[in-house]
Structure 1
Amino acid sequence: MMPAARESLLDAAYTALARRPWSAVRMVDVAAEAGVSRQTLYNEFGSKEGLARALVRREADGYLAGVERALSAHAEARERLAAVAEWTAAAARANPLVRAMLTGCWSRRLPTPTLSPVPSTSAVPAQRRADGPLPSPTDLVALVRDRAVAAMAGPGTSKADAADLAHSCELVVRLALSCVAAPPGRGGVAELVRSALPPQPR
């Protein structure tokens, strides 16, 4: 199957999830929405559980791609971290799967795939990856932190400075998540980050 068709099926599954609880989403409806046969859907994902894992994996990847974009949007370190915080809060507010992955709070409306890997017999590389481990909230925070450190620590960065940067990155993500639960006032999450961090974290 072409990657575009797989994306169409995942888009259809996400749309269906927006309309009804995952338990009420039917594979036949997802296939029809994407314009493929139900057999094609099963060939690609194996089962409804496989589809759920692939959907969660895609949304996690999309969130992390947004983190990368935020990190490249500014030159100054504090503004990069403010952009990461804004993206994290916005993504968690807009996307229930991203919110669940970041917080660990999975509502009954959502699929709840196990985070540990499952046996995979799929011939589809993307599905084998989805059948692997899915990120826990701790994993996602660490992935964002590591990406931020990699983007901002130069070749001459000392171990101490890199550790300070890692601490600042983790603080920023956790601050952003708190803003999902309790939205900040004027200035939003970016202003909170700016006030919490020194002007030039290394």
Structure 2
Amino acid sequence: MPAARESLLDAAKTALARRPWPGVRMVDVAATAGVSRQTLYNEFGSKDGLARALLRRETDAYLHGVERALAVEGGPVDRLAAVSAWTIAAARGNELARAMLTGCWSERLPAPSRPRASASPVPAQRRADAGVPSPAELLALVRDKAVNALNGRARPKDTEELAMACESAVRMALSYVVAPSPAGEDPVELVRGVIGRWTGA
């Protein structure tokens, strides 16, 4: 039931925008999605299962955005600048993405839970039950995606240097999430300048 699952996750995210996660009720999520409460429980098993699935979807959406940014036209600096721009936009526009990237979870959000073995008959739920990456793991995933996309096209002397440039671009972007830039300052241009000097591009 992929359509019902997505509708339920959309409804849960809408509910979370209106009230803290502890105040989100399963019956309201089901009603908003236009399905029975039993369908909700069949898909997610519990409210914790719904939370894990919501966090997994937000993580996957961020990573898909990284892949899109790495596919833009241009050289390595342009692509890393696009990843930085996406990271800043994703974190500023989505409190779940911001929490996943920074590890700063407020009491109003569903907290990430430890990975657990899943007996769910729903493959997407088994993936969600496996947990979401920590901020350090997420950064490593982005770095590795960037290295794979850019390797052979950048000027750094070796893959290790390229990996450091990729990681630095994301870390600089995250610094602007935690401490926003003053008006008129473009964080992506800073990333472009620093990474451009580093890679010689």
TM-score, normalised on structure 1? 0.93
**Which runs of no fewer than 5 residues in structure 1 stay unpaired?**
none
1:89-108 correspondence to structure 2 within 5 Å: 89-108=88-107
Unpaired segments ≥5 residues, structure 2: none
Match status 1:198 vs 2:196: yes
Aligned to 1:180: 177
Stretches of 4+ aligned residues off by more than 6 angstroms: 156-159
Deviation track 1:109-139 (CA, whole Å, cap 9, x = no partner) reads 100131x311312100000000003100001
- Which position in structure 1 is the counterpart of 2:20? 21
CA contact (8 A) 2:77 2:192 kept: yes
Identity among equivalent pairs (%): 64
Q: Equivalences for 1:1-202 in 2 at 5 Å?
A: 1=1, 3-114=2-113, 116-154=114-152, 160-185=157-182, 186-198=184-196, 201=199
1:68-99 CA-to-partner distances (Å, cap 9, x unmatched) read: 00111122110100110010011001111111
Code of the residue aligned with 1:111 in structure 2: it is: P
For residues 126 and 156 of structure 2, the distance between their equivalents in structure 1, rounded to whole angstroms, comes to 36
Counterpart-to-counterpart distance in 2, 1:145 and 1:113: 22
Letter in 1 for 2:33: A
Return 60-69 or 185-194, whichever deviates more: 185-194
Residues 8 and 29 in structure 2, CA contact (< 8 A), matched pair in contact too: yes
Instruction: Name the CA distance, whole Å, in 2 between partners of 1:69 and 1:195.
Output: 22
Task: Output the CA distance in 1 between the equivalents of 2:190 and 2:20.
Answer: 35
Residue identity in the other structure for 1:28 = V
Task: Tell me the secondary structure at the aligned position of residue 197 of structure 1.
Answer: helix
Whether contact under 8 Å (1:45, 1:127) holds in the other structure is: yes
Change (3 A) 1:189 1:49: same
Is the 2:156–2:162 contact (alpha carbons within 8 Å) kept by the matching residues of 1?
Answer: no
Shift of 1:50: 0.1
Q: Which amino acid aligns with 1:180?
A: V
Q: Which whole-Å CA distance do the structure 1 matches of 2:117 and 2:149 have between them?
A: 35
Cα distance between partner residues in 1 of 2:68 and 2:80? 11
**CA distance 1:150–1:88, shift in 2 (3 Å):** same
Q: Number of paired residues?
A: 199
TM-score (normalizing by structure 2): 0.94
